[in-house]
Amino acid sequence: MDDRTPILIGAAQFTQRDVDIAAAQSPVAMMAECARRAARDAGADARILAQLDTVAVVNLLSWHYGNPPGALAQLVAAAPRRQLYSTVGGNTPQWLVNETAELIAQGQVRFALIAGAEAVYTAQRSRRAGQHLDWAIATTGAPTIVGTDKAGSTDHEMVHGIYLPVAVYPLFENALRAHYRLSLQEHRARLGALCSGFSAVAAANPYAWFREARTADEIATPTPQNRFIGYPYTKFMNAIIDVDQAAAVLMTSVGAAREMGVPQARWVYLHGCADAHDLWFVSERVNYHSSPAIRLAGQRALKMAGLHIGDVDYLDLYSCFPSAVQIGRDMLGIALDDPRPLTITGGLPYHGGPGNNYTMHGIATMLDKVRAQPGTTGLVTGLGWYLTKHAVGIYSTTPPAPPWRREDPATYQADLDVMPHPRLATEPRGRATIETYTVLHDRDGHPMRGIVIGRLADGARFLANTPADRALLEDLEAEDAIGRPGTVTSADESNVFVPA
């Protein structure tokens, strides 16, 4: 085997719960703990971390460090020449693995730590209690920023409320319901069943935040404890960021692993990988029930691995909201009745969604899965923004056919960038129909705002809000409004759609 073949040799996770605020570990301390555990997972002593030449940290939301990878390096007694800090996106853990594997294969990286963490739960508790957190770490220098640092929404989208994930993903979900030709009741039952399966996986996962298996009815039925947030999603269907969780992986080459004495039984190969993004802004999408980028990235990763989707033993599809899971499943060619679970962790609503780092937990869990059954294969997906940025990785303990070669994502991204899509009318007027929609709710579960993506008679797309009329908003939840006619008006950069 080529000594430069990239491998993952160690992984670890850490979930911090039921600790006093003063005793809670900071995000970078949790990452350091994961790094040390990952070294032990590789069959080595934590002193091996002194050999790191690359430390990459996934973008943090709950705490600010001047140099996050530099702070992490300090805590693990490393002096890496490459200190990387990612931009925002749930795709970044898998993307960093893909990028690092390529650099290892090129001989530019010998030994890398990729880590991420969030302590939103403790940070929120400390603010409510007025308690200071002593988490500062003095660092020098600045990290190299990696990834695409492009805003996720346009100003026009933001004016109409299309920027928070809890508002955007329901737009995809209602479009999916129409695409599947399901009634409101049938669709709600399907969502409950999908999410119930995820919660059962989380209940058996020691690192999950919510270790309670919920029934389909419990998840799908709105109650004061399970209110609607963005219709048709109840609270139990939404990703939960209010967690303290960390995960990390160690990567190196076959040759370096031998030099460091890492047992071959700990090696996991990245058989296939790919990265792509859809037309960037939500208002530009081809439609709201598919993702050409997930489809293409999945095809390229499977081709690199020499596999078909049916050959994959384990799946972890990014699961911030049910629409992300369903679109990922559909685009990868996984049948609705496929017996394979779509998650190995429990997903972001039940395992927990630690900011941009959830996918690192999926990767760490996948290493455990394929090592436990040598020769099996697992596929992990990650996504950023609003079904925008996508990353795919395929893992196995079986050595891949040499040489390891990642296809340049730019070669297939070009086709995605020119896909035809509806023209956007920013000042629409006249007769129109609803393409997709959602209704946002307040903290008491009352409907407060309708968001509509619609079409004019000439096929142009528009964004709008509905009047803040409670009877109208309740009607949009009582009857399927996809395709419903109405009138749209525009004034002061804001559009209003009134159903007929």
| Kind plus residue range of the DSSP H or E element containing 457 | none
pLDDT digits (tens, 9 = 90+) for 39-72: 999 999 999 999 999 999 999 999 999 999 999 9
Query: What pLDDT score does 390 carry?
Result: 98
pLDDT at 401: 86
What does the radius of gyration of the chain's CA atoms come to, in whole angstroms? 23
Residue 194's pLDDT is 98
What are the structure tokens assigned to 280, written together?
């960037």
Tell me, rounded to whole angstroms, the distance of Cα 115 from its chain centroid: 15
In the block, tokens 């049948």 appear at: 335
CA dist 280 → 152, 153, 162, 225 (Å): 7, 8, 13, 35
Assign 61 to helix, strand or coil. coil
Give the per-residue pLDDT at 61.
96
Query: What residues have CB less than 8 Å from 53, skipping those under 6 apart?
Result: 80, 81, 82, 109, 110, 111, 112
Interacting residues of 492 by C-beta distance below 8 A, sequence separation 6+: none
CA pair distance 121, 77, nearest whole angstrom: 28
Grade residue 311 by pLDDT with cuts at 50, 70 and 90. very high
Beta strands in 231-321 (DSSP E): 233-234, 244-253, 268-277, 314-316
Cα 277 from Cα 297, distance rounded (Å): 9
Tally Cβ neighbours within 10 Å of residue 106.
Answer: 11
Q: What are phi and psi of 378, to 5 degrees?
A: -130, 145
Instruction: Give the rounded percent of residues in the chain with a pLDDT score beyond 90.
Output: 99
Q: 258-269: per-residue pLDDT in tens?
A: 999 999 999 999
The secondary structure element, H or E, covering residue 82 is strand 82-86
3-state secondary structure of 59: coil
> 292-305 vs 322-332: helix axis angle to the nearest 10?
50
pLDDT tens profile 330-344: 999 999 999 999 999
Scan for tokens 């599947």, then name that residue.
180
pLDDT in tens, 356-407: 999 999 999 999 999 999 999 999 999 999 999 999 999 999 999 878 999 9
Helices (DSSP H) in 265-423: which residue ranges?
Answer: 292-305, 322-332, 358-372, 410-417
Structural contact between residues 421 and 284, judged by C-beta atoms closer than 8 angstroms: yes
Determine contact, residues 355/243, Cβ cutoff 8 Å.
no
Bridge-partner residues for 7, per DSSP?
252, 269
Encoding tokens for residue 334? 């996984």
Is 489 in contact with 429 (CB distance < 8 Å)? yes
Domains parsed from the chain with CATH numbers: 6-151+241-417 (3.40.47.10), 430-499 (2.40.50.840)
pLDDT tens string 184-233: 999 999 999 999 999 999 999 999 999 999 999 999 999 999 999 999 99
How would you label 23-49 residue by residue, b for 16+ Cβ within 10 Å and e otherwise?
Answer: ebbbbbbbbbbbbbbbbebbbbeeebb
List all residues 6 or more positions away from 414 whose beta carbon is below 8 Å from its beta carbon.
Answer: none
Q: Tens of pLDDT along 238-249?
A: 999 999 999 999
- Best CA proximity match to 243, nearest among 214, 200, 283, 209: 209
Sheet holding 377-384, edge to edge: 144-146, 82-86, 54-57, 111-119, 244-253, 6-15, 268-277, 389-396, 377-384, 314-316
Count of residues in the chain: 500
**Across residues 438-445, what is the average pLDDT?**
96
The mean pLDDT value of the chain amounts to 97
Alpha-carbon gap, residue 417 to 153, rounded angstroms? 17
pLDDT in tens, 447-484: 999 999 999 999 999 999 999 999 999 999 999 999 99
pLDDT at 1: 83
